[in-house]
Amino acid sequence: MSTLLSDLGADLPLIAAPMAGGPSTPELVTAAARAGGLGFLAGGYKTAQALAGQVHTTRAEGVSFGVNLFVPNPLPASREAYARYAREVQGEADRYGLTLPEEPIEDDDHRTDKIDLLTSSPVPWVSFTFGIPDRAVVSALRRAGSTVLQCVTSADEARRAADAGVDALIVQAPAAGRHSATLTPERPPVQVSLPDLIAGVRSAVALPLIATGGITTATDVAGALGAGAQAAMVGTVLLRTHESGASAPHKAALADPAFDTTVVTRAFIGRPARALRNHFTDRYDALAPAGYPALHHLTSPLRKAATAAADTRLIHLWAGTGHRQAKAESIADTFAHLADQL
């Protein structure tokens, strides 16, 4: 067992990935810790106040946990491309009586407030995705007592994260559900297997590594550890668990034979993210320009309305390639299956 996890009292090298937008509840993170692993709260898309509430609730359970934040790595949409795409998508929104934002909304996801929250009220682990924070931010969090982790998708990104002074890396393979952590979201993620990616990063940097992306079975966990990772981080396989806050239509679609493949698309948020293939990805993937967070804000009201109406043609059904392994069971049961070959 690695010191990275055992220092926080974990018995299993298993980590519940941060999953913004609902799935990562304090209940899920607490259950992951009680099942012998660790979990991350998802700070993305929340105000600092909302995140503070979740931190407070989880801390009160007396478990160790991490918090994940987005680092802005803006991919501005051109006004014309945005307007063209907004007109297309508005056709779907009309059926819900919604008016989508006509102008691109660019924001930094309340970044400074959330960093201030985590330096003044530190949590054991803080992880970053989308961009690499400045050295000064990394140092401030480390001084406050947090272990700082960076999500990377290549050996080159790993070197850059190491230069910023982080303590450990989360190495994400392209099989992962939802957000690709790539630092170059204007390009599709490079296809590489998780073990090959771990080996490549291992030869580039000496930091402890956590593997993620497409890990859904005990064999996958053993493979990731065998390739040199100290722990396996899982997202998709937890989406249908009792403790997951994923929406009911999302949970149902993950097990529905009608949704049999995943695609990497920027149709929903303007940067690459993996979801179950549905009407929205089929119709809009080729039309969607790069543009984050503008496309996230554009489609957000439509996705919310579609979720409330259980309209799976339009919902962002985030999923990794291993979605068929996601079971409606407790996290403790899922972790027990995943730990079967350890």
Ligand X SMILES: Cc1cc2nc3c(=O)[nH]c(=O)nc-3n(C[C@H](O)[C@H](O)[C@H](O)COP(=O)(O)O)c2cc1C
Q: Is 182 in the site for ligand X (CB under 6 A)?
A: no
Whether 135 and 52 have beta carbons less than 8 Å apart is answered as no
User: Does the footprint of ligand X cover residue 129 (CB under 6 A)?
Assistant: yes
Q: Do 167 and 207 contact (CB within 8 A), yes or no?
A: yes
Q: How far is the CB of 47 from ligand X (least distance, A)?
A: 15
Cis ω before 293 (30° cut-off from 0): yes
Torsional sign, CA 318, 149, 229, 155: positive
CB of residue 114 to ligand X, shortest distance in Å: 12
In the region spanning residues 19 to 48, those forming contacts with ligand X, defined by CB under 6 A, are: 19-21, 23, 42, 44
Report, in Å, the least distance between residue 275 CB and ligand X. Answer: 9
Stretches 81-89, 202-210, 234-242, 256-264: which one binds ligand X (CB under 6 A)?
Answer: 234-242
Q: Could you write out the DSSP letters of every residue in 108-144?
A: -TTHHHHHHHHHHS--SEEEEESS---HHHHHHHHHT
Which residues within the stretch 295-324 sit at the binding site for ligand X (CB under 6 A)?
318, 320, 322
Sheet-wide strand order for 262-265: 178-179, 273-276, 262-265
Under the binding rule (CB under 6 A), the answer on residue 235 touching ligand X is: yes
Nearer to ligand X, 22 or 90 (CB): 22
What six digits make up the tokens of 21? 């937008």
Distance CA 262, CA 282 (A): 11
118 binds ligand X (CB under 6 A): no
What is the C-alpha to C-alpha distance for residues 23 and 251, in angstroms, rounded to an integer?
Answer: 10
Which residue, among 259, 260, 285, 282, has the nearest Cα to 271 in the 3D structure?
Answer: 285
Least distance from ligand X to the Cβ atom of residue 23, Å: 5
Question: Considering the rule CB under 6 A, would residue 161 count as an interface residue with ligand X?
Answer: no
Identity of the residue, 19 or 118, whose beta carbon is nearer to ligand X in the bound complex: 19
Could you say which of 214, 223, 249, 291 contacts ligand X (CB under 6 A)? 214
Nearest position to ligand X, beta carbon: 235
The residue within the footprint of ligand X, chosen from 46, 110, 179, 202 (CB under 6 A), is: 179
Contact 249, 312 (CB under 8 A): yes
Which positions touch ligand X (CB under 6 A)? 17-21, 23, 42, 44, 68, 129, 151, 172, 175-179, 212-215, 234-237, 318, 320, 322
